[in-house]
Structure 1
């Protein structure tokens, strides 16, 4: 069988090194590849060409990142993943799951429709409509959070306590994503890491500001979760079709749990720093279970 695995990333870093080592221990070669250099072709074989895999398809694809770009570039990059999947190459996560998690709008809608507790959310391209929604929410005593429809690590996320701050807001890509703020002070939330059909670890993130992202200075600490948030995280991963996921939860001042965001390409360096299990080993074990039998 083929023993070469494609790790899709433009910046391997710590995660790439850990994945490469874990694969090597099982006799697989990790090849870092960028979707930016891939192509589809209907008159030659293989029909999908990824950098480093010009002559044959990889045994599997582990997606660690998808570079941004124009709409056409993003569609091509996702098409490359969909084509690999259609040709029988195992992908981790599957491309549809990645699409659903990257797009905060459809993820919020699907989770809400499944009665998963998520903060009320509005997505619109109309400025007047966005300001009217904000005025109504603020008048009812609710703060709002605005986010890019696509984004991570807290980039472009803002909190609004009054209409003046929203009136100055420039929509990300021409779209307003508004969500009711349900945070607490001092700020904290929970990253719950799902692999397969179980939660393997969780951490509490305490922020130096209202955003708790590790990339913004958030402090991580290991935590054992009760049954309710564990089941919430598992349900979220199931609804969005994820083999592995980073589910962000928050507990409000009244003790209610909320799903804030879902990441289908989650980092785990911060989590690994505070938990005893080897997250990379568990990821690779689950990933390879779709390729070989242990």
Structure 2
């Protein structure tokens, strides 16, 4: 039987959805925390220990979540994903894609380089430069969003610059921001309440979308926004697909925001381990099944893994 490792730092609704979708394809999904995986070059020919897989490697890996930790711990966890890919195991999304999306500044840089509309962005270790940017933008009656570089679900965001008619400076960067300022120009809402879109891209194709509506300027479902069905227009689909392609994603949750009349829709973020529970409530088909089908149909051809000399080929699927 095909055995898939679901890399997740916690079990819950998403892992159960993936396991059910894998069972529907005659496969089994085994939840593994990357923190529990390690390197042991005496344990097996490949040098990895993946709990639940003995001396073998999984047939494929779905990355659902990576726990935070020290720089060394996160490096090791991503290193396991890099190693699995180099050993011929399909990894969905692989470590390269996750590194590009977890680092918001790299996401912004790659979107900009690909010509995708995205808000003006700055990332600097200089607190003085961050303050000057807030003053300059504030003088033009603009505000900036200060975000933790590795944050998620809308946690820890602050607006600086021109906010509610007054100037708001950049807070100390060593308190919640890792001594680094990642600043993104705030896009004023076009309606009240405001909204943005989350578009899910699977296998290079946008498959579903929702509007996230909130009276607050943060539109994450985890921060209380309401999920509403949204038409997946050609413009939304194209922008989301281009954004996922720019970061090399197998699947991605792409956040887009409307701009003032005549201005293009802008891509805010691209999420490489995107949650989809809120999106599932307004989507008529099974999202987990779409992800599993793409993994098994596109990423798991019957070709041998990359093995060291002398090892028998192991076919996927």
SS at match of 2:133: helix
> In structure 2, how many angstroms separate the alpha carbons of the residues matched to 1:158 and 1:216?
14
> In structure 2, how many angstroms separate the alpha carbons of the residues matched to 1:68 and 1:226?
36
Q: How does 1:75-90 map to 2 (within 5 A)?
A: 75-90=75-90
In 1, are the aligned partners of 2:43 and 2:55 still within 8 Å (CA)? no
Counterparts in 2 of 1:30 and 1:167: CA distance versus 1, 3 Å: closer
Q: How does 1:30-69 map to 2 (within 5 A)?
A: 30-45=29-44, 46-69=46-69
2:210 aligned partner: 203
Q: What RMSD, in angstroms, separates the aligned Cα atoms of the two structures?
A: 1.6
Which moved further from structure 2: 67-76 or 254-263? 254-263
2:267 aligned partner: 259
1:286 aligned partner: 294
In 1, are the aligned partners of 2:37 and 2:49 still within 8 Å (CA)? yes
Q: Deviations over 1:178-202 (max 9, x none)?
A: 1110130422000000011211100
Q: How does 1:108-257 map to 2 (within 5 A)?
A: 108-160=108-160, 161=163, 162-167=166-171, 170=175, 172-184=177-189, 185-255=192-262, 256-257=264-265
Runs of 4+ that moved beyond 6 A? none
In 1, are the aligned partners of 2:9 and 2:67 still within 8 Å (CA)? yes
> In structure 2, how many angstroms separate the alpha carbons of the residues matched to 1:34 and 1:168?
34
Unaligned runs of 5+ in 2: 303-316
Deviation, 1:113, is: 1.3
Which moved further from structure 2: 36-45 or 94-103? 36-45
SS at match of 1:166: coil
> In structure 2, how many angstroms separate the alpha carbons of the residues matched to 1:33 and 1:168?
37
> In structure 1, how many angstroms separate the alpha carbons of the residues matched to 2:179 and 2:47?
35
SS at match of 2:150: coil
Which moved further from structure 2: 64-73 or 273-282? 273-282
Deviation, 1:292, is: 4.8
Unaligned runs of 5+ in 1: none
Which moved further from structure 2: 249-258 or 190-199? 249-258
> In structure 1, how many angstroms separate the alpha carbons of the residues matched to 2:204 and 2:129?
40
TM-score (norm 2): 0.89
Aligned length: 293
> In structure 1, how many angstroms separate the alpha carbons of the residues matched to 2:188 and 2:38?
44
SS at match of 1:248: strand
